[in-house]
Chains A and B, each alone.
Chain A
Amino acid sequence: MIEGKAIIFGNNIDTDQILGAHHLVLPTIGEMAGYTFEHHAHFTSGFAKGDILVAGDNFGCGSSREQAAAVLKERGVAAVIARGFARIFFRNAINLGLQLIVCPEASEIAAKDKLTITAEKIRNETTGKEYAREPLPPFVAGILKSGGIIPYLQKNR
């Protein structure tokens, strides 16, 4: 079970917004993570480890930079809930074991709402509403369950 407060984003959040291109040459994800969403003040001042990002459509669109998913994990983002994810970001996040949850009603969640996420549903503790989460294909769920593609391959090869 995941518990955390919601940090809200809009539609089409691209990888340049998550982590600007000029930070990609830094030697470690730890050093890049300090620049996560650097131009989004509500994230830089309001995010605490264990919080949940909630967004609209097409989260993570743009470049293939895995660093965008990696810095979210490094900062301790507990999960990303969105109406939809861009393909490459989706794959990168699953490979790294970052919880992504597709939820058509994501836009009903407001800033700072307290959320509880279980295997079947999302519960908004602030409003009392519950939402179903879209299931992942079993193969993909298996990767996530193992903690990412590398532990998955180690277990299954």
Chain B
Amino acid sequence: MNVIEKILAAHSPETMVHPGQIIEVALDAVMANDATACLAIDIFKNELKTDRVFDPEKVILVMDHYTPSSSIAAADSHNKMRKFALDQGLRYVYDGAGVCHQLMMEHHVLPGQLIVGADSHTCTYGALGALATGMGSTDVAVAWKEGRIWMKVPEAMRITVSGQWPAHVYAKDLILKIIGDLTVKGATYKALCFDGPAVQALRISERMTICNMAIEAGAKFAYVQPDATTEAYMKKAGREGYRVFTDDADARYERTMEYDVSALAPQIAFPHSVDNVRDISTFAGTVIDELFLGACTNGRFADLEIAAAILKGRKIAGNVRFLVTPASKDVYLQALEAGLIRIFMESGAMVSAPGCSACFGGSGGILGKGERLLTTANRNFRGRVGSPDSEIYLASPAVVAASAINGCITDPRGGLR
């Protein structure tokens, strides 16, 4: 079996599993956020007619999409979550502490675990070698009750990345390039396993960027084999006692792709599909109205640090507004202590409370008609952040920072005015 099959088998009553097989699996954690939890609460109570979650330590609720509450409806739905958490005695409920996936990675995920979340970017946890996938509210309500769920064992694809990372080229550029090649349906229902020296060279933060966007190619799971970097991350987080799975000698992958990052240029995904990907040169000079640095894709300390290094001592252009949102409270504090928040604010950026922010637009940062957003987030669907007549471009933190200074899409490799 390959490592994906082994982790699934270890969570099921089966000893061997194969792609296409439908199995019932036991879950290590079930996450829901404020875009999906309320519907799950209704289903849990009114349709499943149950009154106890399987384990109050393993049901995790996060308010991040609409926090600070941006409407009366959002405030009401947050209160519904708080009441449910209190009634059920849930141990982990986060409000305004950050994006759900960032919090899961900082406080909960262990290598080798199997986790579902009512959010499509749950696949991010593959960065620590956990299998995690997004599901809807009904599945999550069932998982809350039973602690188990049915899954189809996916085919696995292996993406091996080698080469030296060029200056100003990052994990975000690689994953955009891969999605451009795979297309938005190229990995539907599959597990995407990333390996090779250029992946091993990445920190967990950057592995998260890659795994986060696997869903944009339709994938069910993303996975990076745990190594010394993973071990160090877990140790620092104070979480030990996990099991690391590996491929058997006969491990089978449906397909293998190879990449070399040595000659990779910064990438841009242009409206309105994540697989519309080109080298930055195609869009250099495109005038921008709003910029966003944040989201579960690129709102971590490493991302803020890259952007701050470019912005230090400079001012953003007069024609743009620039919103910076640390992905969690811990990231915010770290950035504060390192002086990054000062750099952002002195450059003219707004810094907002941790959460999804302008990735989703649920708490502000909405675009008007005809406006253009350049963002470090993961989706550029039409109307995702406001007007259906606006445009969203996706890029790395370095591209966003350089573009904020010039007021137009700018190559961080020397394109600064």
- A residues lining the B interface (CB < 8 Å): 12, 14, 16-17, 20-22, 24-27, 29, 39, 57-58, 61-67, 69-70, 84, 86-88, 91-92, 95-96, 137, 139-140, 148-150, 153
Contacts and interface: CB of A to CB of B under 8 A. Distances in A.
Given A22-B361, A153-B142, A14 B218 contact: no
A143 B257 CA distance: 36
A150 B383 contact: no
B265 interface: no
Contact of A149 (B36, B73, B74, B142): B142
A64 B120 contact: yes
Given A25-B73, A65-B36, A66-B36, 7 more contacts: A16-B382, A24-B35, A25-B66, A62-B381, A87-B189, A88-B136, A92-B139
A70 B43 CA distance: 12
Contact of A20 (B119, B135, B188, B383): B383
Nearest to A23: B73
Given A21-B35, A95-B139, A62 B185 contact: no
Nearest to B120: A64
Interface string B117-135: 1111010000000000011
A150 B43 contact: yes
B22 A58 contact: no
Interface residues of B, number: 47
Contact of A26 (B73, B142, B152): B73
A58 B189 CA distance: 11
A27 to B, nearest CB: 7
Contact of A67 (B22, B34, B39, B65): B39
Interface string B93-118: 00000000000000000000000011
B153 to A, nearest CB: 12
A58 B47 contact: no
B262 to A, nearest CB: 32
B284 interface: no
Contacts of B36: 24, 64-66
Interface in B175-203: 184-185, 188-189
Contact of A58 (B137, B139, B218): B218
B74 A12 contact: no
Contacts of B372: none
Contact of B384 (A21, A69, A70): A21
Nearest to A66: B136
Given A63-B119, A86-B218, A91-B136, A12 B185 contact: yes
Contacts of B152: 137
A96 B47 CA distance: 11
18 contacts: A14-B379, A16-B383, A17-B381, A21-B65, A22-B361, A22-B362, A27-B73, A58-B218, A61-B185, A62-B379, A64-B117, A64-B122, A64-B135, A66-B39, A66-B136, A95-B136, A140-B22, A150-B47
B12 interface: no
B22 to A, nearest CB: 5
A62 to B, nearest CB: 6
A63 B379 CA distance: 10
B253 interface: no
Pairs A-B, 3 closest by C-beta atoms: A66-B136, A92-B136, A25-B73
B81 to A, nearest CB: 11
A78 to B, nearest CB: 20
Contacts of A17: 381-383
A95 B149 CA distance: 12
Nearest to B74: A25
Contacts of B66: 25
Contact of B220 (A87, A137, A140): A87
Contacts of A140: 22
B71 interface: yes
Interface in B53-78: 65-66, 71, 73-74, 76-77
A92 B138 CA distance: 7
Contact of A88 (B120, B150, B382): B120
Most buried by B among A64, A66, A67, A88: A64
A95 B73 CA distance: 26
Contacts of B137: 66-67
Given A21-B361, A92-B136, A149-B139, A63 B22 contact: no
Contact of B185 (A21, A22, A25, A58): A58
Interface in B365-401: 379, 381-384, 388
A21 B231 CA distance: 37
B74 to A, nearest CB: 5
Given A139-B150, A150-B47, A91 B135 contact: yes
A74 to B, nearest CB: 12
A72 B13 CA distance: 36
Nearest to B34: A25
Contacts of B384: 16, 21
